[in-house]
Amino acid sequence: MSRFLFPVLVLLAVCLNLRADDVVWPPVVPPAGTPTAEYPAARTDQAQYFHDHIIQAHSHPVDLIFDGDSITDFWQAGDRGGPLLQSLYGPRNVIDYAISGDRTEHVLWRLQHGELQGLHPKLAMLMIGTNNLGESSSQEIADGITKIVQTYRTQCPDMHVLLLGIFPRAPSPTDPARAKIKEINAIISKLDDGDHVTYLDIGDKFLQPDGTLTADIMPDFLHPSAKGYQIWADAVQPVIDKYCPLAQATPTTGFAALTPAQIDPTLPTMTWPFPMNAPAGTPAALFPIPHADWFWRFQQNIDKLKQGPYDLVFDGDSITDFWQGNGQDVLKQRYGGIKLLDNAISGDQVQHVLWRAQHGDLNGQNPKLIMLLIGTNNCGQDVKEVAGGTKLVLDEYKKRCPDAHILLLGVFPRDPLATSGARMWIKNLNAIYTTYADDRVTYMDIGDKFLQPDGTLTADIMPDFLHPSAKGYVIWADAIQPVIDKYFPGAAAK
């Protein structure tokens, strides 16, 4: 088995008996005092994807590299940048190394673990940093990007780097994310040396004259549409033509592909205490795995148990996690008189919540009520499998907290229009969730309360059409208040 793959699954039976404080992980988070954005960290839940990229890169010549996060990763999507990638850059021997969800520290780790090993590309196009916005300062993010560019230069000194400014996000030009992006771009623009690095800020090309971002360019106000990728391609074409001209594309004959063992025998091996991917043939949503690049958040949850016991537990992904952000005022007002634990972790999928439940984030707890909202990050996966994973989470709650009642929420609507594919997926998932109601589980679908009469979702309720605003959290709190009152009568008045 390749060094990029994970331990054999027979270790699972042993691993499942480990407590959280028994687990010794390879570095996935920085040491105390080290900025996250600058410290190489493994994106362990995507290691198989990275490994596949390594194999692909050594199966044909590579003259052009795309790198970054989902915004660049979606150049490979058939309904986004896929057709352009094939027509414009396929003949230039492109490899798209970008991985959805990656931050600067993940790209640094990939570079340290063989991404450019044995390659001699002419040009690398990098756009990274948007996923760091909520966790790191502007300077830290810029420093992380600087380290990536420096690593490119060290590992491939003959390769030119096209560094793109972080693209605008959120509909309004007054959104705080816009200001932070502007600060970062101002810093990294100085990396343009007129020789080895070209900096290009094409963000304005996606915007309207008044600075607004529209759904036809970026449907979720983060990822470009097919129209957006055409704008991107047009903007960078002069640099592509200069450093990676089609006429000089490397011939494809006579290139010998490497076996996984030949890629780099000096790379450090990775030994993880748990499987990171479901075994072949097992649905991902049904197999508990840790969200390992957020393991420190899980450890924080474990540490909070010492302050318990808790009477009310919130669990899920970023939508519930952000009760501690956009929802913090209503959290204090409505639930300040309740001993509350918010276990939710941004980015979690059903299988991550299942793993957490099995590995101690409810140890010693027997709350009156657990509120669970999970599933949106599994969007696009088989609905029955995702629902089955959620059923396993409910079973864990029932087993570990025998006196707790569970409030299972239907997955909230996302995307502006009622006709989006995600909306239909959510509707089908919630239809299965309704069948889970019993004497221990109350099911509530409060999604319609966030919507306009025509089914549209507006930015004042969910600015990114996924996460509620402060106004959205008030709507949420109002909708579940009858259940709260049933188990915590008078608590809001305390």
Residue 3 forms part of a structural domain: no
> In this structure, are 323 and 205 located in the same domain?
no
Q: Are 362 and 335 in contact (CB under 8 A)?
A: no
Residue 310 forms part of a structural domain: yes
- Positive/negative CA dihedral, 343, 349, 354, 355: negative
Residue 281 forms part of a structural domain: no
Cβ neighbours, 10 Å, residue 127: 23
> In this structure, are 296 and 424 located in the same domain?
yes
Q: Which two tokens stand for residue 227?
A: 């129209």
Domain boundary among 236, 255, 274: 255
> In this structure, are 138 and 54 located in the same domain?
yes
Domain residues for 442? Answer: 290-493
CA neighbor of 233 nearest in space, from 90, 355, 54:
90
Residue 282 forms part of a structural domain: no
DSSP letter for 92, please: G
Q: Are 224 and 233 in contact (CB under 8 A)?
A: no
Residue 318 forms part of a structural domain: yes
- 161 — phi, psi (to 5°)? -115, 125
pLDDT recorded at residue 25: 56
> In this structure, are 169 and 298 located in the same domain?
no
> In this structure, are 124 and 238 located in the same domain?
yes
Residue 338 sits in a domain of what CATH number?
Answer: 3.40.50.1110
pLDDT recorded at residue 392: 96
Q: Which amino acid is at 73?
A: D
Number of domains in the chain: 2
Under-50 pLDDT residues of the chain: 1-22, 252-258, 260-263, 265-270, 493-494
Residue 270 forms part of a structural domain: no
DSSP labels for 98-117? --TT--HHHHHHHHHTTTTT
Residue 271 forms part of a structural domain: no
Domain boundary among 255, 271, 305: 255
> In this structure, are 171 and 243 located in the same domain?
yes
> In this structure, are 233 and 296 located in the same domain?
no
Domain boundary among 228, 255, 282: 255
Mind listing the pLDDT tens digit for each residue in 62-106? 999 999 999 999 999 988 999 999 999 989 999 999 999 899 998
Q: List alpha helices for 362-487, DSSP H.
A: 383-400, 421-433, 470-487
pTM: 0.61
pLDDT recorded at residue 214: 95
> In this structure, are 241 and 297 located in the same domain?
no
> In this structure, are 485 and 338 located in the same domain?
yes
> In this structure, are 231 and 323 located in the same domain?
no
Q: Which helix (H) or strand (E) holds 57?
A: helix 47-57
> In this structure, are 55 and 193 located in the same domain?
yes
Residue 464 forms part of a structural domain: yes
> In this structure, are 244 and 294 located in the same domain?
no
Task: Catalogue the long-range contacts made by 54-58 (C-beta closer than 8 Å, 24 or more residues apart).
Answer: 54/4, 54/114, 54/115, 54/117, 54/260, 54/263, 55/257, 55/260, 55/263, 56/95, 57/95, 57/97, 57/115, 57/119, 58/118, 58/257, 58/258, 58/263
Q: Residue with structure tokens 């590995």?
A: 359
- Positive/negative CA dihedral, 179, 181, 182, 184: positive
Cβ neighbours, 10 Å, residue 64: 24
